[in-house]
Amino acid sequence: MKSWPFPTVPTIPARHGNPVPLKLYDTADQRIREVSFHNPEGPAGMYVCGITPYDSTHLGHAATYLTFDLVYRALLDNGRSVHFVQNVTDVDDPLFERAERDNQDWRELGEEQTNLFRSDMEQLGIIPPHDFMSVSETVNEIIDIVGRLLDQGKAYVIDGEYPDIYAPITATEQFGYESNFNREDMMEVFAERGGDPERPGKRDELDALIWKAEREGEPSWEAPFGRGRPGWHIECAAIAANRLGARFDIQGGGSDLVFPHHEFSAAHIEAAYDVDRMAGHYVHAGMIGLDGTKMSKSLGNLVFIHKLTANGHEPSAIRVGVYSQHYRSDRDWSDEVLAESEQRLASWRDAVQQPGDLKHAEGLVRTIRERIADDLDSPGALRAVDAWAENTRGGDNDPQAAELVVSALDALFGISLR
């Protein structure tokens, strides 16, 4: 499946200072530590879970992808190429339910919403994945990993009318390490996040569906173990493992994916390929609310990217608004946040007309790099830009200073001052 165009990402000349190694909070270890690389000579491997394309891209989606765009840009600044993989979950119940409700073919709905997602990501200047893969085009890969788990005795078939296949939580000794959830925590969210604890015949309530046997009226594919379709977690496991290997550097997504999705995606890969840890870092972005209330389709309070831009709000202002609060926090969005972001952007653009001397500009770039490297402290970095804009006007008005600040904000934040 095609991705979207790669934006122009400037390079900060070495004469203006050195990059700072990136440190990120790891959900599994529950601490901030420097990102290390499984393959020191190769690109950083990063997998970020994508959309289920049954509705338009909203600000909650965008905030997650803007978080990992910041990670990508920080890695590039450190001279590290990135192999970025992202999926589109176009084989899933919400898509089928929406398609049935609207009397629309599920493939058409998925393609329509994926195209809109591409457009939104391109407008926001988000660096695209190297591999942008839909589940429907990778079903054979998923069948292979399901078969591998069955062959190793790390999956089982339920008897009855529908011989669904499940992966037991005992398939790996380390199950639970990624989320740090205890059983009570797991049970509390399992059903509301796609699990089926009450399914008869399961060995354990928390065991995860990896292959759903064919049901009438649902899409299905031929497999050696019977026609059906994949479960949610095994989809990402197969797509990631087949492009990044069983061990890669960063697994990312929203905080609502910590359990069960990321726990089981890791467990499936670790069981199938006999590794003790899938990702070096598990990184999760907080949720976005609107005027103090969590954004959700059921509440009808979603802020759509294409509507913001259609109403004249430029992508750089949206970026400033999202980055004005820390990525790991559950954040709020409002008209006031957007208005303040537009005012900040205007003040920075005024400042580059009177940028002061090069020394102050280089100091700003150093501070931005240090703040981003410290677990993506984007609020701190943007406050540094505010201080520079307020305090360094006049003086030498060195055009090199203006160019450096413009290039640095574009390179590190995707924010355009031009």
d(CA 384, CA 375): 16
- Annotated ligand binding at 88? The verdict is yes
Annotated binding residue at 89? yes
Query: Is position 143 annotated in a ligand binding site?
Result: no
* 334 annotated as belonging to a binding site for a ligand: no
11 is in an annotated binding site: no
Is 64 annotated to bind a ligand? Reply is yes
Q: Is 56 annotated as a binding residue?
A: no
- The annotation status of 50 as a binding-site residue, yes or no, is yes
The verdict on whether residue 232 carries a ligand-binding annotation is: yes
Residue 199's alpha-carbon distances to 148, 207, 229, 230, 272, in angstroms, are: 24, 10, 17, 17, 24
Q: Determine whether the annotation assigns residue 332 to a binding site.
A: no
Contacts of 103 (CB under 8 A, 6+ apart): none
Tokens 């060195």 belong to residue: 398
* 126 annotated binding-site participant: no
Question: Tokens at residue 248, please?
Answer: 């890669």
300 is in an annotated binding site: no
Q: Which residues pair with 133 in a beta bridge?
A: 87
Q: Is the dihedral of CA 411, 412, 415, 418 positive or negative?
A: negative
Distance in angstroms (rounded) separating the CA atoms of residues 75 and 82: 7
The neighbouring-strand residues paired with 402 are none
Binding residue per annotation — 388? no
**What CA–CA distance (Å, rounded) separates 263 from 171?**
12
Q: Enumerate the known binding-site residues for L-cysteinyl-5'-AMP.
A: 49-52, 64, 87-89, 232, 254-256, 288
Q: Enumerate the known binding-site residues for Zn(2+).
A: 49, 236, 261
Q: Enumerate the known binding-site residues.
A: 49-52, 64, 87-89, 232, 236, 254-256, 261, 288
